[in-house]
Chain A
């Protein structure tokens, strides 16, 4: 089943830390898994739980959510608010039976280019082991056939 399976990851990252950190990964010429699509947000506090659901719905096999370390938020407290929300959201996902391993949270600062590369590599391997997320894609929409994954 997992033959030829390449995980598709969506990363929701904050503008000030992780996005700059991912930039540093590139300028440092560190190679990492090309499976990730990065979406930049002003702050982790902006990352609504619905966006994570929509990412799964539109074909992501895993989601990375990352921002500034606690205490380093550009807007002072956005990441603290986000942390509380994720704690609650993870509980809900688990209760309805969505694999919480598919949403990975991390703090990556603008100086941690190497950590970003390691994070993406690790999550890619983890999702590769879990296989494609078909649970969401199999849910039918009116007038739309479920996507057949090779």
Chain B
């Protein structure tokens, strides 16, 4: 495997450059390789699946294989979740497709990779659909998303859709061991299993965990270190905030909330998302209680988008937690 020696973050350093190197995606890779052999037949692509399963990697591999080392000149990479307005997307896409008309070798088009495209609004997608039509002679789109259902039908019908499922445990463990070997790390099998269990099929998370764990002890990653890293890398304060709210200390919970927002600059939406994730790790709650609380989080996630002050919405959410926590405490 070619290693990107310049990159420091391992997710980049060991990101495959060619489709052959891609981990555990044989069927998809085989279909895509036929497009590379004859680029003229390549349609627009829609890559859908959970995070960390190789969608972006595959898209970048395609760019590499089509254009070689100068791929960046012929590829526009946009993240729909960052480029908020459709205007940005539209302007840049339009400009790019116009500018890149000069074809490369036998590749008669430029490549536009639109990551997290399910974050685009319906209106933005409709505009994109037009652009896909008008620029189809000069550019190809690779749309990447978590949920293909959020992509409007007309776009889906214009794309060849590839679904990425959770990566195979064994393939992930093998890949971690491969990286450990390259980095001259002693990775214990239990540690590798622990990382992979925690990552839930997200290879990016697994590699980041491994790299952080490697920073703890020189040359060795054992299960103990991994547990430590995974514990510390999780948002401890968010967990604490949930617990304080549930066990009746609303004021303290709210203070943590203000710290998260004020001194750290987390947005209300960031905190709500993390709360939802951390909720499931709290062992003292029953599945029913968790489901109820998730429901409430969902309601306030929506209210955040409607409201004017995220601290007020989060306070209200914590107050709901305090109420449920108290009620639960009284019945048990």
Partners in one complex: no
- A-side residues, CB < 8 A to B, are none
